[in-house]
Amino acid sequence: MGEEEQADSASIRVLVIDNHDLFRTGLVKMLQGEPGIEVVGQASTATMGVRLAGELRPSVVLMDLLMPDLDGIEATRKIHQNYPAIRVIALTVAADEGNVAAAVLAGARGYLVKDTPVAEVVAAIRAAAVGESWLSPRAAAALFARIRREHVEPLSKPQPPLNLSPREIEVLRLVARGMENAQIAAELHISPRTAKNHLSSVLNKLGVTNRVQAAIVAVRSGLG
């Protein structure tokens, strides 16, 4: 196998589902210029997108939630249930609490608004491809607000987890505010890699697997 074939085999395969032709084709063109990303298909309807997901088996699907034929959240649920190895990222115009929560519950690994910079879309694709979650700041704030209001009962005497270091507590507090690793790094004046390492340690010590679960712990502990 030659070097070009090896590179292709390691590429993140992406399927873009969006009914706005201009936005979809523009996004596809920009993604095709990114190293390590291969756009394997695009669909203008959710029904076609679900079918292509099964035929093409992409690594990541970018899913517009406002589709004319089939609700994007329902399409996300179908892909997640039928092809659990495929990671779906919701990409839409609004980040209201209801849509964010519904998308996450349907199986979405990420949620981005359409004015998100391309670099962040690419970062979200790379994160989803390795099983990580990625929420835009507005989506994270909306989701965590809903978690605080509806799904979290504060402890009678909230206190930070005793097994976390002071720096890890700072990281957990910022996660509960909806910050991504780069934002946490900037806030704490550390490198993004160090922020990622701190977050991995926090997740491990708390016995949780993702940022949302960590945020719930933070809120219950009085850190959110």
Domains of the chain, first to last: 3-136 (3.40.50.2300), 152-220 (1.10.10.10)
Tell me which residue of 34, 35, 74, 82 sits closest to 54, measured CA to CA.
82
pLDDT tens digit sequence for 99-115: 887 888 888 888 888 88
* Residue the block writes with tokens 């670099």: 119
* Residue the block writes with tokens 């590179």: 7
Rounded to two decimals, what is the model's pTM?
A: 0.70
Distance CA 136, CA 153 (A): 25
Q: For the residues 164-185, what does the mean pLDDT come to?
A: 87
| Residue 138: band (very low, low, confident or very high) from pLDDT cuts 50, 70, 90 | confident
What b/e sequence results for 88-102 when a residue is b if at least 16 CB atoms lie within 10 Å of its CB, and e otherwise?
bbbbbeebebebbbb
Please, are residues 24 and 112 in contact by the beta-carbon 8 Å criterion?
Answer: no
pLDDT tens digit sequence for 60-110: 999 999 898 989 999 999 999 999 999 999 988 877 777 887 888 888 888
